[in-house]
Amino acid sequence: MIVHVKNLVKRYRELLALDHLSFTVDDREVFGLLGPNGSGKTTAINCLLALLAYDKGEIKIFGRPMTPESYELKRQIGIVPQNVAVYNELTVYENIDYFCGLYVEDKKLRKEFVAEAIEFVGLNDFTDYYPKKLSGGLLRRLNIACGIAHKPKLIILDEPTVAVDPQSRNKILEGILELNRQGATIIYTSHYMEEVEQICSRIMIIDKGRAIATGTKEELKAMITLGEKITIESQYITETQLSELRALPNVISADYKNKQLIIKSGKGSNNLEIVLDAIKREKIQFGKIYSELPTLNDVFLEITGKQLRD
Amino acid sequence: MQVFKLCLKILKKNIPTLLIYVIIFIGIATMMSADAAKEQSDLLFTGSKVNLAFLAEEDTPLVQGLKTELAKKANFVLLPDEKEALQDALYFRKVSYILRIPEGFSQSFMEGGNVQLEKTVVPNAFSTAYFDLSINQYFNTAKLYVEQFENLSQEELVQYLKSDLNQTTVVELADGAHPRKRIFANNFFNYLAYSLMAILILGMSSLMLVFNDKNLRQRNACSPLSNASFNQQLILFVLLFTGFTWAVMVTICLFFSFNHGLDTNAIYFLINSLVFSVCAASISYLIGLVVKNANVIPAVCNVVTLGLSFFSGVFVPMELLGDSVLKIASFTPTYWYVAANNHIAALRQFNLTSLQPILNCLLMQLGFALAFFTIALVLSKKRKYE
């Protein structure tokens, strides 16, 4: 076990930022912390890195308690903070070299690591650039390079793709998976469920500082009753027709809004077929019809009663 | 030494701005110090000649001797011996002294009679008093010979007088110091208060602004670099930067002020400026902690340095500042630095009594340095837990 967090409590005066939060991260895992803005993700990360003092609980990394003076533990951790933290007075190369130098004293080794980090994030053509000359995407990549250059065993990425264009985002996500393949354990926080679904092997959904569900994405989706969501675009539906649809077997709900009929079915097979038969029988006119499997947003919605992006 | 190297790189980016201050300092300080030294050293003593109308109603060896002697200190102006012409000459300052030798003056003087010369002068002119002294010196010396030697001829008397009055005495100050050089150094070191503090504030604030960035502070805190190591490297850099700046600035001062060798006063000027640079470093460190925007740094720097310089006697001599201004200024380190410089410039003897005022000023500056550093540390600690 790489990270062990038990009953973590952090208060900001009256606000309970972390409410007995517990989780573990295993070796070579990509662990996702998913939650809306203000849910406590960054606070949890800051406590994990001993940047914040917490009121109660226990944090162990690599089996040892994490404190502000745990310099040997810190040597094995790479951090990519939410806000870009680079020196505007240093070039891209100098920035990576500076942060790598905080961990690696051997100059020759450091030079190799810096070159590899530059190569890894694709900043070869920008080594002499100052951060202010870089685009948002390149700046994020520099932020990542500064955090991973020293080849840490544990990498913590706190919303590394905020305000990044889709192309750069994909490159960053691919890079994270590559780091994991190379042997690093990853903790990844985000409020983008697609990203978390895409790269994380295990996910913890967090809201108001409390863990509301933890597991693989399949396990999380299995926790809820929703099995399938069928959306039908239709110009007009009567209340009688709607009642007929609601009465179908395995249908949890059927709602008509903005010329869209959304039918939520429970777990089971032939849901779409049953609905199509009913539409045909009721002679409901429709345009498009499509079916979706539940997302993490549905998981969050069912557990908390609100959207992940609320 | 990552943090130390980082400091160097950050400072390197600010070198052009700092150099501007060094160049401005050299230019202004050299010009102003040289002018001030010239003006002030002129006030000590400079020989000058008086425009004199010499009207002799007799032509005797004694009168000729007097004329030759006065020629050393006077420019003779030929004027018609008419009342109106003489009055006009005085009014229009063509002459500042009219000396008339009445007929029979020499004979009467040689016989020991009570005789008087007639003079007409520009009222309240100090040059005429100096000239009176010269005439009195001539006749007082002559009187001594007349009283001592009987049957002394006027020719013999004039020979004696010529020989005696040609004797001059070279006056040297006991410590051999050159007053003009010292006045120059005093002014130069006073101006240093402005430029040294400006450079330290600009350099240190630019540095502290970077290190006080919350994101970077947290990022560094995530690394295995200990707080102690971080602070040690930062303090080492601050000390070296202060020391280097001081060394550059005082080298310039010494080059211009003491280019013919150092004296004891120069060493005290150096000690005082070193103590002041420690104090300036503490103020700069504090400002660096408080300032949160790079655009504000030059404004804060100018307000602090110019403000302190103006009412602490850097640009305007303390003698010209009011008592109330000086009283307020005494709550600033610059005042004590300038006061110490003024004491050092006036220093002729180097014993405990004469050094006491300087030591007091140095202690006051160290006290200020300690106070500013303490405030900075408290602020720094408070910010750490924000």
Q: Which residues on chain B are in Cβ contact (under 8 Å) with A98?
A: 2, 5-6
B132, B165, B198 — which closes off a domain? Answer: B165
In the prediction, which pLDDT does B18 show? 81
Are B122 and B194 in a shared domain? no
Mean pLDDT, residues B18-29 taken together? 80
Give per-residue pLDDT as tens, B315-372. Answer: 888 888 888 888 999 999 999 999 999 998 888 778 888 889 999 999 999 999 999 9
In the predicted model, is pLDDT for residue B33 greater than 80? no
B134, B165, B196 — which closes off a domain? Answer: B165
Buried b (16+ CB within 10 A) or exposed e, B342-363: bbbbebeeeeeeebebbeebbe
**Alpha carbon distance B151, B378 (integer Å):** 93
In the prediction, which pLDDT does B26 show? 79
The candidate with the shortest Cα–Cα distance to A90, out of B348, B9, B154, is B9
> What tokens appear for A24 in the block?
């573990």
Helices A107-121 and A136-148, packing angle to 10 deg: 140
Are B375 and B267 in a shared domain? yes
**Alpha carbon distance A187, B171 (integer Å):** 86
Which alpha helices (H) appear in chain B, and where do they start and end? 2-44, 61-70, 83-91, 105-110, 126-148, 154-165, 179-211, 214-221, 227-257, 264-290, 297-311, 323-329, 333-345, 352-384
Instruction: Tell me whether residues A98 and B225 touch, CB distance under 8 A.
Output: no
Give per-residue pLDDT as tens, A266-281. Answer: 877 778 888 889 988 8
Percent of chain B with pLDDT over 90: 20
Distances (CA, A) of A186 to A30, A179, A220, B151, B384: 5, 8, 19, 123, 28
Inter-residue contact B215 to A85 (CB < 8 Å):
yes
Are B161 and B186 in a shared domain? no
B10 close to A (CB below 8 A): yes
Helices B264-290 and B333-345, packing angle to 10 deg: 170
Mean pLDDT, residues A45-56 taken together? 92
The minimal CB distance from B9 to the residues A49, A90, A103 is found for A90
In the prediction, which pLDDT does A141 show? 92
CATH number at residue B146: 3.40.1710.10
> Who wins on pLDDT, A201 or B27?
A201
Inter-residue contact A265 to A239 (CB < 8 Å):
no
Instruction: Tell me whether residues A87 and B10 touch, CB distance under 8 A.
Output: yes
Per the domain annotation, does B172 fall within a domain?
Answer: no
Are B304 and B210 in a shared domain? yes
Residue B118 Ramachandran class (φ > 0 left, ψ -120 to 50 alpha, else beta):
beta
Give per-residue pLDDT as tens, B107-148. Answer: 888 888 877 888 888 877 777 888 888 888 898 899 899 888
Residue type, A257: K
Residue type, A179: L
Give per-residue pLDDT as tens, A77-104. Answer: 999 998 999 999 999 999 999 999 999 9
Instruction: Tell me whether residues B224 and A72 touch, CB distance under 8 A.
Output: yes
Q: Which residues on chain B are in Cβ contact (under 8 Å) with A74?
A: 222-224
Residue A113 Ramachandran class (φ > 0 left, ψ -120 to 50 alpha, else beta):
alpha
Percent of chain A with pLDDT over 70: 99
Tokens 């001797």 belong to: B65
> Who wins on pLDDT, B125 or A260?
A260
Beta strand pairing status for A226-233 and A64-65?
A: unpaired
| Closest chain A residue to the Cα of B14, Cα to Cα | A89
Ranges A106-120, A211-225, B111-125: which has the least confidence: B111-125
Are B205 and B350 in a shared domain? yes
Torsion sign, CA atoms A134, A137, A140, A141:
negative
Are B209 and B301 in a shared domain? yes
In the predicted model, is pLDDT for residue A145 greater than 90? yes
Are B143 and B217 in a shared domain? no
Residue type, A299: V
∠ CA B270-B277-B360, rounded to 5° = 70
Confidence of residue B275 (pLDDT cuts 50, 70, 90): very high
Are B293 and B222 in a shared domain? yes
Beta bridge partners of A262: A231, A255
Q: What is the ipTM of this complex?
A: 0.85
**Alpha carbon distance A102, B219 (integer Å):** 11
In the prediction, which pLDDT does A43 show? 93
Domain topology for A3-221? Rossmann fold (3.40.50)
Confidence of residue B173 (pLDDT cuts 50, 70, 90): low
The minimal CB distance from B219 to the residues A68, A85, A89 is found for A85
The separation between CA B252 and the C-alpha centre of its own chain, rounded to angstroms, equals 16
In the prediction, which pLDDT does B291 show? 87
Cα radius of gyration rounded to whole Å, chain B: 32
In the prediction, which pLDDT does A115 show? 95
Smallest Cα distance from B242 to chain A, Å? 21
Per the domain annotation, does B182 fall within a domain?
Answer: yes
Tally of structural domains, chain B: 2
Domain of B142?
A: 50-165
As assigned by CATH, the class of the A225-293 domain is: alpha beta
The candidate with the shortest Cα–Cα distance to A177, out of A150, A197, A207, is A197
| Closest chain A residue to the Cα of B230, Cα to Cα | A102
**Neighbour tally for B7: CB within 10 Å:** 22
Listed in order, the ranges of chain A carrying CATH 3.30.70.100 are 225-293
In the prediction, which pLDDT does B180 show? 62
Give per-residue pLDDT as tens, A292-309. Answer: 888 888 888 888 877 765
Are B319 and B302 in a shared domain? yes
Helix (H), strand (E), coil (C) string for chain A: CCEEEEEEEEEECCEEEEEEEEEEECCCCEEEEECCCCCCHHHHHHHHCCCCCCCEEEEEECCEECCCCCHHHHCCEEEECCCCCCCCCCCHHHHHHHHHHCCCCCHHHHHHHHHHHHHHHCCHHHCCCCHHHCCHHHHHHHHHHHHHCCCCCEEEEECCCCCCCHHHHHHHHHHHHHHHHCCCEEEEEECCHHHHHHHCCEEEEEECCEEEEEECHHHHHHCCCEEEEEEEECCCCCHHHHHHHHCCCCEEEEEEECCEEEEEEECCCCHHHHHHHHHHHCCCCCCCEEEECCCHHHHHHHHHCCCCCC
Mean pLDDT, residues A147-170 taken together? 89
Average pLDDT, chain B: 85
Cα radius of gyration rounded to whole Å, chain A: 23
**Alpha carbon distance B242, A170 (integer Å):** 49
Average pLDDT, chain A: 90
In the prediction, which pLDDT does B259 show? 63
Per the domain annotation, does B171 fall within a domain?
Answer: no
Torsion sign, CA atoms B331, B334, B339, B340:
positive
Smallest Cα distance from A191 to chain B, Å? 21
Residue type, B2: Q
A85 close to B (CB below 8 A): yes
* DSSP H or E segment with residue B75: strand B74-76
Instruction: Tell me whether residues B218 and A81 touch, CB distance under 8 A.
Output: yes
In the prediction, which pLDDT does B219 show? 92
**Alpha carbon distance A196, A177 (integer Å):** 12
Per the domain annotation, does B341 fall within a domain?
Answer: yes
A99 close to B (CB below 8 A): yes
Are B195 and B241 in a shared domain? yes
Inter-residue contact A147 to A78 (CB < 8 Å):
yes
Are B93 and B11 in a shared domain? no
In the prediction, which pLDDT does B258 show? 66
Interfacial A residues in 123-182 facing B (CB < 8 Å): 146
Are B275 and B126 in a shared domain? no
In the prediction, which pLDDT does B23 show? 85
B116, B133, B165 — which closes off a domain? Answer: B165
In the prediction, which pLDDT does A8 show? 94
Confidence of residue B384 (pLDDT cuts 50, 70, 90): low
Distances (CA, A) of A232 to A133, A278, A287, A295: 48, 12, 7, 18
Instruction: Tell me whether residues B222 and A49 touch, CB distance under 8 A.
Output: yes
Across the beta sheet with B50-56, what order do the strands follow? B74-76, B50-56, B97-101, B118-121
> Who wins on pLDDT, B24 or B306?
B306
**Alpha carbon distance B32, B316 (integer Å):** 11
Mean pLDDT, residues B212-222 taken together? 90
Inter-residue contact B330 to B321 (CB < 8 Å):
no
In the prediction, which pLDDT does A309 show? 57
Residue type, B41: S
Inter-residue contact B226 to B232 (CB < 8 Å):
no
